[in-house]
């Protein structure tokens, strides 16, 4: 059985809070989804806003290799004939090979939202589809709120499907729009739908569209597919209104690797991680590191026993190979780390270290002591590599700090403060004394440090600080609490994380900044 994958990231996904895309972003995501092998891409509601109209206008000049683009809209307004309904005409004007319209399945919505009679709702479903049937290659019908409607009025919910079939829909999508249905409720409802359609002698295809308000959207989708439904709708990374939609980055690998079912995207399943990150980047949102299959932590191993077992046989703690979905295995360093973790890191860093080397015990002890003080190396592997190199006597001293001063002056209450950092350090015996202004103390220190070192190490000009996080480690001490600073830096080829811990936020920031620069200089020497 081959499953159709229908993506609604560009429509339902953009209804998520803080998820925004420009027209160009939507076009780029469309191309990526086509490259990935998605069967249907729902581009938006062309009658809803100018951005959607512009998107469909641009897409008319772009050829997709596999995906069919679909415009989305509602059944006609009760007072309008289909040919006179602006929403219906906007769907046609979008010029897409597929059109998806939704109608009301729940009698409560007919009475309270549309405020029309139940029979009138049946009529507008049939009329809208019948009119569109002649205008488009593929016609799909979203039975909105179907599961809630079925629970409330079984016969009416089924009747709406019957009229959609009569109108010419070739696929009926059963929608759990409020996301309140649980997996055990899916099977009996779908079985009754199938029985009803058999009695109607209809060969129409069925689809599933689940929302995640009960944290069951993926489970409901997979349950429906196991019952013979052949189209699944969802979004990349599960974006969507309220709690989101069914997550296609979890559903697709489950279909391929767990259920043994065919879908076109299976041919490009190793692009799953890339596609997931691509959508996040264009939406300017952080990637969920704990997301199954595509998260950075999906194949990350921390406990020493886990690491030792995974190195012998990855199947011991991994349900699939990370490379199958384009991800990678990561071995974390923490206070739970054993010798296996450290040996793995040493090998990765190109360091010669044996399990019985006396330095090994020293590194393990230092690691546990430092993490007990509040250091964290899972997000600061550059600092950990420097720690290992120092223990092995391999870390070069590129500069030596002699003094640091930061002044923060608030001269006028209605204007931002002026911040200046002064640094005195030595590079190969040469004393350097410099100062710089900055947007806050950390930026001032960073600027002064670069100013002092760039004439000795010009490559530092291409390095930049891209993220800065502060975590209070002991809140009961209030403003006197110890803090941990995590810094992410990058250059033209890579990014790296460093850490500092102190009762003084300036000192913690300085530690992380120094590690960041030392790592950059060490990396360039290795390269």
Per-residue pLDDT at 408? 86
Are 233 and 344 part of one and the same domain?
no
Query: Could you tell me if 406 and 332 lie in one domain?
Result: no
3-state secondary structure of 518: helix
C-alpha span between 263 and 129 (Å, rounded): 27
pLDDT tens for each residue of 360-415: 777 777 777 777 788 877 668 888 888 888 888 888 889 998 888 999 888 788 88
Q: What number is the average pLDDT over the span 30-34?
A: 97
Averaged pLDDT for residues 259-284: 92
**Does a structural domain hold residue 49?**
yes
Cα–Cα distance measured from residue 5 to residue 226, given in angstroms and rounded to the nearest whole number:
15
Say whether both 116 and 8 belong to one domain: yes
Q: Which among 262, 251, 244 is positioned nearest to 223, based on CA atoms?
A: 251
Please report which confidence band the pLDDT of residue 49 belongs to, taking 50, 70 and 90 as the band edges: confident
Both 97 and 149 in one domain: the answer is yes
Give just the sign of the alpha carbon dihedral 292, 293, 296, 299: positive
Give yes or no: residues 426 and 500 share one domain: yes
Do residue 141 and residue 230 come from a single domain? Answer: yes
Residue 212 lies in a domain: yes
Q: Is residue 419 within 8 Å of residue 439, measured between CB atoms?
A: yes
Residue 117 sits at the vertex; the CA angle it makes with 113 and 118, to the nearest 5 degrees, is: 90
As for how many domains the chain has, the answer is 3
Q: Is 480 a residue whose pLDDT tops 70?
A: no
Between 479 and 172, whose confidence is greater?
A: 172
Confidence grade of residue 190 (pLDDT, cut at 50, 70, 90)? very high
User: What's the pLDDT score for residue 374?
Assistant: 80
CA distances from 325 to 265, 329, 370 (A): 11, 11, 35
- pLDDT at residue 287 in the model: 83
DSSP 478: G
Residues 311 and 339 in one domain: yes
Residue 356 has pLDDT above 80, yes or no: no
What is the predicted pLDDT for the residue at 475? 53
> Of 451, 330, 339, which is closest to residue 379 (Cα–Cα)?
330
Q: What is the DSSP letter of 254?
A: I
Helix (H, G, I), strand (E, B) or coil at 381: helix
Name the pLDDT band for 476 (thresholds 50, 70, 90): low
Distance CA 173, CA 187 (A): 15
Average the pLDDT over 32-43 and give the result: 97
Alpha-carbon span 32 to 14, nearest angstrom: 17
For residue 219, the domain's CATH number is 3.20.20.70
Answer yes or no: is 475 within a domain: yes
Are 421 and 403 contacting, i.e. CB atoms less than 8 angstroms apart?
Answer: no
Domain limits for position 451: 400-526
Mean pLDDT of 5-19: 95
Residue 35: pLDDT above 90? yes
CA distance 431 to 409: 27
- The pLDDT of residue 478 is above 60: no
Q: Confidence band (pLDDT; 50, 70, 90) for 332? A: low
- Tell me the pLDDT band of 524, cut-offs 50, 70 and 90: confident
The answer, yes or no, to whether residue 237 has pLDDT greater than 90, is yes
- 309 and 435, same structural domain? no
pTM metric for this prediction: 0.72
User: Given this model, what pLDDT does residue 477 score?
Assistant: 53
Of the pLDDT bands very low, low, confident and very high (cuts 50, 70, 90), residue 5 is very high
Which percentage of the chain shows pLDDT scores above 90?
63
**Are 306 and 266 in the same domain?**
no
Bridge partners, 496 (sequence order): 489
What's residue 186's pLDDT?
A: 98
What is the rounded average pLDDT for all residues in the chain? Answer: 90
Q: Could you tell me which of 154, 210, 223 has the C-alpha nearest to residue 179?
A: 210
Give yes or no for residue 334 having a pLDDT over 60. no
**For 285-296, what is each residue's pLDDT tens digit?**
878 989 999 998
pLDDT at 346 over 70: yes
Residue 132 is predicted with a pLDDT of 97
Q: What's the token pair of residue 238? A: 């599960």
Is 290 domain-assigned? no
User: Could you tell me if 351 and 458 lie in one domain?
Assistant: no
- With cut-offs at 50, 70 and 90, classify the pLDDT of residue 313: confident
Cα(296)–Cα(286) distance, rounded to whole angstroms?
Answer: 12
Of 201 and 336, more confident:
201
* 152 domain-assigned: yes
Domain identity same for 278 and 304? no
Q: Do 335 and 441 share a domain, yes or no?
A: no
Percentage of the chain with pLDDT > 70? 94
CATH number of the domain enclosing 516: 3.30.160.270
pLDDT at 339 over 80: no
- Per-residue pLDDT, 363: 78
pLDDT at 335 > cutoff 60: no
Query: Would residue 386 count as lying in a domain?
Result: no
Residue closest to 231 by CA, chosen among 70, 30, 31, 26: 70
List all residues 6 or more positions away from 78 whose beta carbon is below 8 Å from its beta carbon: 114, 116, 120, 124
């Amino acid at each position: 059985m081959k499953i159709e994958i229908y993506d609604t990231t560009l429509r339902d996904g953009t209804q998520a809070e803080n998820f925004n895309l420009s027209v160009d972003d939507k076009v780029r995501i469309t191309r990526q989804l086509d490259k990935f092998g998605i069967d249907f891409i729902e581009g938006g509601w062309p009658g809803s806003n100018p951005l959607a109209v512009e998107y469909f206008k641009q897409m008319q000049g772009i050829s997709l290799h596999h995906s069919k683009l679909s415009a989305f809209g509602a059944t006609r307004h009760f007072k309008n004939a289909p040919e006179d309904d602006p929403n219906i005409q906007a769907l046609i004007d979008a010029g897409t090979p597929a059109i998806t319209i939704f109608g009301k399945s729940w009698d409560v919505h007919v009475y309270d939202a549309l405020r029309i009679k139940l029979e009138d709702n049946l009529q507008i479903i049939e009329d809208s589809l019948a009119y569109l049937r002649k205008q488009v290659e593929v016609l799909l019908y979203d039975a909105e709120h179907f599961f809630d409607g079925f629970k409330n009025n079984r016969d009416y919910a089924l009747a709406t499907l019957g009229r959609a079939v009569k109108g010419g829909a070739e696929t009926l999508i059963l929608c759990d729009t409020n996301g309140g249905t649980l997996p055990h409720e899916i099977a009996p409802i779908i079985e009754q739908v199938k029985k009803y359609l058999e009695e109607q002698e209809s060969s129409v295809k069925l689809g599933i569209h689940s929302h995640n308000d009960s944290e069951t959207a993926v489970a409901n989708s997979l349950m429906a597919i196991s019952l013979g439904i052949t189209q699944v709708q969802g979004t990349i990374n599960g974006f969507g209104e309220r709690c989101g939609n069914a997550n296609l980055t979890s559903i697709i690998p489950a279909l391929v690797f767990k259920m043994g079912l065919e879908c076109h995207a299976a041919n490009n399943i190793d692009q799953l991680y890339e596609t997931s990150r691509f959508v996040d980047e264009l939406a300017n949102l952080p990637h969920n590191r704990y997301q199954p299959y595509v998260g950075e932590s999906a194949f990350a191993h921390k406990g020493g026993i886990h690491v030792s077992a995974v190195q012998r046989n990855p199947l011991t703690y991994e349900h699939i190979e990370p490379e199958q979905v384009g991800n990678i295995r990561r071995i974390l360093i923490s206070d739970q780390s054993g010798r296996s973790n450290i040996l793995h890191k040493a090998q990765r860093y190109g360091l010669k270290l044996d399990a019985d080397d006396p330095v090994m015990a020293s590194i393990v002890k230092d690691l546990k002591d430092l993490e007990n003080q509040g250091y964290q190396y899972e997000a600061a592997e550059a600092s950990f590599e420097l720690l290992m190199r120092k223990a092995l006597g391999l870390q070069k001293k590129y500069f030596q700090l002699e003094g640091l001063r930061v002044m923060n002056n608030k001269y006028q209450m209605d204007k931002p403060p002026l911040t200046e950092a002064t640094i005195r350090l030595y590079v190969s015996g040469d004393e350097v004394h410099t100062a710089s202004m900055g947007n806050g103390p950390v930026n001032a220190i960073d600027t002064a440090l670069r100013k002092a070192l760039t004439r000795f190490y010009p490559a530092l000009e291409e390095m930049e600080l891209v993220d800065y996080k502060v975590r209070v480690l002991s809140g009961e001490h209030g403003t006197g609490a110890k803090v941990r600073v995590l810094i992410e830096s990058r250059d033209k080829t890579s990014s790296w994380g460093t850490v500092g811990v102190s009762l003084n936020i300036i000192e913690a920031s300085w530690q992380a900044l120094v590690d960041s620069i030392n790592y950059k200089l060490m990396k360039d020497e290795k390269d």
